[in-house]
Amino acid sequence: MSAEILRTVDLTKRFGSFVAVDHVNFSLREGEVAGIVGPNGAGKTTFFNLVTGYHPPDEGRVVYLGQDVTHAPPQHRVGLGLVRTFQLASTFDALSVLDNLVLARFSRLHSGANVRVLLTAPRRRYYDDPRVQEVLERFQLVSQRDRLVRHLSLGEKRRLEIAMAILSEPRVLMLDEPLAGLSEAEIHQVMDVLRSQVGQRSMVVVEHKVSHLLGFVERLVVLHEGRVIAEGRPEECLQDPEVRRSYWRVGAESA
């Protein structure tokens, strides 16, 4: 079994008296693909925010590659290879696909560069970067290369966002609802893109469409009201009585 790469210890986040993430102990092995499911408001995005440094936890720790990164800023974690995508796509919509990819590459090569530096960076110099060319092909974006991102379909934009994350060379890639709002055809394309990453990095995928995670994730974690109520092999997890009670929609195609 491969080594552990990420662990949270009693990770907790409160908003006033409301506990959004409640003593979550989560661990991920090098190369593992895990899914996190749970109803709206279960704390999935908040958990991602804690792990990637967008919110400070009220209690608990985040340990990545044996280092305590609980209070490290997001960009520092990205530099260490702990990278996320957002529930709502985070691209530069007024720029081309190529420029977005080049900016992602540039920010990896110049970690810590802020948005102003990025936007004034000499992008052309990186247009032929082999890693940028490689992701254009792998993510089926070659024909969209010069289009402005605001003209892309949601599926193309989602692939671009994942491509941008990949250019920062993550060891752990955390994806928050990568399939949300996509058509069946787009879902297949995004899943193909994600499958192409298996074996190259660890992944954690938050997703409502549980059926798409079956056959993809090795392990499922079910969150409910901020707590882990079940985890294990996906098929077994979904049969768990508490999961069925708390999150009855979990097995339904429409969930």
Ligand X SMILES: Nc1ncnc2c1ncn2[C@@H]1O[C@H](COP(=O)(O)OP(=O)(O)OP(=O)(O)O)[C@@H](O)[C@H]1O
Task: Work out what residue 40 binds among ligand X, Mg ion, none; the CB cut-off runs from 5 to 8 Å by kind.
Answer: ligand X
Task: Work out what residue 81 binds among ligand X, Mg ion, none; the CB cut-off runs from 5 to 8 Å by kind.
Answer: none
Q: CB nearer to Mg ion: give 31 or 41.
A: 41
Burial class (CB in 10 A: 0-12, 13-18, 19+), 142: exposed
CB 144 to ligand X: min, Å:
28
Q: CB nearer to Mg ion: give 41 or 79.
A: 41
Task: Work out what residue 91 binds among ligand X, Mg ion, none; the CB cut-off runs from 5 to 8 Å by kind.
Answer: none
The contact set with ligand X (CB under 6 A) reads 15, 20, 38, 40-46, 87
Closest CA to 90 of 200, 178, 17, 9: 178
Instruction: Determine the size of the site formed for Mg ion (CB under 5 A).
Output: 3
Cα separation, 22 vs 3, whole angstroms:
26
- Sequence-separated (6 or more) residues with CB below 8 Å from residue 25: 7, 8, 9, 10, 11, 228
Task: Work out what residue 31 binds among ligand X, Mg ion, none; the CB cut-off runs from 5 to 8 Å by kind.
Answer: none
Cα separation, 243 vs 224, whole angstroms:
9
Give the residue, chosen from 28, 32, 35, 45, that forms a contact with Mg ion under the rule CB under 5 A. 45
What is the four-CA torsion angle of 223, 36, 27, 199, rounded to 10 degrees?
170
Q: CB nearer to Mg ion: give 121 or 187.
A: 187
Q: CB nearer to Mg ion: give 97 or 194.
A: 194
Binding stretches for Mg ion (CB under 5 A): 44-45, 87
